[in-house]
Amino acid sequence: MQRRTFLTGTLLGTAFATAPFALTTTSASAATVTVSSLADLQREIDRAAPGDRIVLADGTYNVPTGGIRISGRHGTGAHITIVSQSRGGAVLQGARSFVLSDSTGITISGFAFRQTQTLIIPADCSDIRLTRNDFKLADIADVDWVVVKANSVKIDRNHFHDRSTQGVFLVADGPDAPTDPEKKTMAKGLIVLRNHFARHTYTGTNGGESIRLGVSHRALDDAGAVVEYNLFERCDGDPEAISVKSSKNHIRHNTLRDCAGGIVLRHGNGTLVHGNHLVGGTEGIRLYGNDHKVFNNHLTGLSGRAFVIGSGTARDHLPGEPPAQQRGNDACDRALITHNTLARNARTLVGENRAHEPRDVVLSNNILVADSGTLVDLGQHTGFTWQGNLLWGGAADGTIPASGFVRTDPRLQQGTDGVFRLSSSSPAIGAAVPTTPAVTDDLDGHPRGGSRDIGSDQYATAAPLRRPLTTADVGPNAA
């Protein structure tokens, strides 16, 4: 299935309605051929036409130094599909796997990648799909496993797992422009859907992200990436499991379980973060940059900072900055943080103390519950709006103004899936203040209607439409 879903008339707006991933059809003249050697595979790729399906028989293959070339192939209207006979059955060893150039409409499916070098989707390609593959490259430091430089790429239902060295599982970058440093554009329209990222045990403090969307010198460019319905487990290689260093991305409905890393909007502006579960790890959500919207997230059992509103070494990043300044933190300005539930975390809502304080942030309709410590521990900040928040537990209120919250028991009930939802007698029901724009559904996928509840959950008797993800929901065998 190749699709992109955008909700309209909500906080998602229309800014993310970039061109959808191409639908594929089957050509009347399409052929399916099965091969059992890399030489035969290369021959069939070299003559492939739209709709053709090339199946590599199960086995272990040592890929030649030059890789398996996909050059000048165009699955216009119907993808050219290169697929393993069974999922994970064709194991590719050697330095390189597929080497793409000047190609469109290509699907690569079902392979077990065991390379020593990066799989790159270069900028002269587009409409490329990697699906149902198993990535466990050699555990070599500073080798990123998949790098996307092209537009309209879909990475779905793959398994990235088990590394102990510095390096990133999946990087979204952009076209190389060594002769023109001002061309700092991002790859556009990347979809990252239903992948399983697991067990990155690198113990350094930087460079071990699971996903990195961009880099500091591309941060002001709009990428329009959608990262949705992915499961992250024991992703401990970096404090940032999902590191966003570009603008206008969409991070939704992911589950981060027992990860040292969190969701960090490190550079860039205008990203949406909603409907995510962060459970039992260390870091939560951390914000820098401007005009982000963060809603319907559920954070529980985190041993570090659950939610950080970041300060900056700069007020705003601007085009033409020197590299050293581009790498600095940009103060969080004009964020909307609403309808989130933060329950039983070591540190709940915290700030920082760099030279440029965050400004003009709206915090509304959030539930903050903890048994010890301080619920709100912000550093210097200016022009914050607090309204409709609910605080509870043995933790002190902290630096939140008295007019911005009520202290009362939200009467949360923890379900078998670990989610804290409202009970039928909760004072949070119907007590939310209006937000602009409105949040029209909740964490579970239930409509909020006209009378909205505080927190990520809208009270309902119906079963949740969305729950925290499990391994059955993601990876090569997911629906």
DSSP calls for 322-341: -HHHHTSPBP-BS-EEES-E
Any domain includes 369: yes
Whether 143 maps to a domain, the answer reads no
Region 306-333 average pLDDT = 90
- Domain with residue 387: its CATH number is 2.160.20.10
Residues 275 and 412 in one domain: yes
Residues 195 and 344 in one domain: yes
Q: 11 in a domain, yes or no? A: no
186 within a domain of the structure (yes/no): yes
Q: Which residues contact 290 (CB under 8 A, 6 or more apart)?
A: 269, 270, 316, 330, 332, 333, 334, 335
67 and 211 housed in the same domain? no
Query: Among 63, 98, 117, where does a domain finish?
Result: 117
User: For position 319, what pLDDT does the model report?
Assistant: 85
Residue 455 belongs to some domain of the structure: yes
Structure tokens at 159: 């398994």
Which pLDDT score is estimated for 177? Answer: 72
Tell me the pLDDT tens digit for each residue of 420-452.
Answer: 999 999 999 999 999 988 999 999 999 999 999
- Identify whether residues 244 and 99 lie together within a single domain: no
> Are residues 209 and 267 part of one domain?
yes
How many distinct structural domains can be found in the chain? 2
- Do 100 and 229 share a domain, yes or no? no
| Same domain assignment for residues 90 and 175 | no
- Contact between residue 197 and residue 230 where contact means Cβ atoms under 8 Å apart: yes
Q: Is residue 101 located within the same domain as residue 156?
A: no
Q: Are residues 298 and 428 in the same domain?
A: yes
Does residue 89 fall inside a structural domain? yes
Q: What is the mean pLDDT of the chain?
A: 93
Q: Are residues 199 and 104 in the same domain?
A: no
- The per-residue pLDDT for range 102-146, each reduced to its tens digit, is 999 999 999 999 999 999 999 999 999 999 999 999 999 999 999
Whether 129 is in a domain gets the answer no
Joined together, the tokens standing for residue 317 give 């990043």
DSSP 156-200: ES-EEEEE-SS--SEEE-----TT-TT--PPPP--EEES-EEEEE
Predicted model pTM: 0.93
- Do 70 and 188 share a domain, yes or no? no
5 part of a folded domain? no
Lowest mean pLDDT among 170-184, 207-221, 339-353: 170-184
pLDDT, residue 239, reads 97
Quickly count: other Cβ atoms within 10 Å of residue 5's Cβ.
11
Domain that holds residue 71: 30-117
Tell me, yes or no, whether 286 and 408 share the same domain.
Answer: yes
Of 117, 144, 164, the residue that ends a domain is: 117
Domain boundary among 117, 139, 166: 117
